[in-house]
A = this chain, B = another copy of it.
């Protein structure tokens, strides 16, 4: 462990850090890592509140080592977040740039999802300020990184909720449609489905026969069960858990069918070990990347190693779920 400031060369002196888009557990761990790694290298850090909104409003606060004490284990983000319409306009971005310059901020770490990186990439192109992104979203749907901050915690929150619902489903012989987050990606639904022994899993990545619930549940070698859990990703093209339940109720009027939409509780909570450790690694790596004169890149984890991925790739390419796991889910719920 280091015992002294290790001054690293590089032109960046004052680093701004912000969180943008939906909040995710582990964002605070990433903020803490950004702050302390920057201080370790002799740099100053400025917290920017409420994401890009704070750049436009000059909502800046200097962060020192104690500013980030005791936040590692907390959900949410101490810097707050937002979705900022004004930053989508050239005028908004110009204002943001002027404010950063006035404050002496010459490098940025943006913790957020691909919407946030789209804005960051544009900003990097228009103005002379390097930005490094840190992937923070519970959906795990960012190309170029195996891991995104908050996903592991969200997954565990979901399985604990579904375990509870399973108690009731079993006790009362009910069928439950449980809707989980993942507007455009089925990671949470697929993995939580396997982890809770769901009898069926509906995700946006699967079309056609894979959405034939009747077949998935009742045909072939499927054991006739008195209770069933079906996990539905909220991005489901058929309309989500309520729509599925209604349709099913019509076809099987004897089933006792219920719906639970887990909703926003999936975003919060104290981060898991994985989210704390990986968010710390990524936050620290983002500062190292800035000091290495990187820009317009996201830091990610591939095969447990830190990698740099250009924003252009992270934004445009699509990350697919592991389709073998769908097959596994089917085998294991017989």
Give the interface of A toward B (CB within 8 A).
1-5, 19, 22-23, 25, 32-33, 36-37, 39-40, 50, 65-66, 70, 72-77, 80-82, 146, 152, 155-159, 161-168, 170-173, 176, 191-192, 194-197, 200, 210, 215-216, 219-223, 258-270, 272-274, 276-277, 280-281, 284, 303-304, 322, 325-334
Contacts and interface: CB of A to CB of B under 8 A. Distances in A.
Given A39-B334, A194-B277, A210-B1, A80 B171 contact: yes
- 6 closest Cβ pairs, A-B complex: A1-B330, A3-B220, A164-B268, A167-B268, A76-B167, A75-B167
B273 A191 contact: yes
A146 B267 CA distance: 28
Contacts of A327: 1-2
Residue among A1, A162, A266, A326 with the highest chain B CB neighbour number at 10 A: A1
Nearest to A78: B171
Contacts of A171: 19, 23, 76-77, 80-81
A168 B268 contact: yes
Contact of A157 (B164, B221, B277): B164
Contact of A40 (B81, B215, B331): B331
Contact of A264 (B260, B281, B332): B260
A331 B167 contact: no
Given A157-B164, A284-B328, A304 B146 contact: yes
Contact of A23 (B172, B192, B197): B172
Nearest to A155: B273
Given A192-B273, A328-B280, A265 B72 contact: no
Contacts of A221: 2-5, 40
A14 B161 CA distance: 37
A146 B171 CA distance: 25
Nearest to A270: B163
A322 to B, nearest CB: 8
A40 B192 CA distance: 22
A156 to B, nearest CB: 5
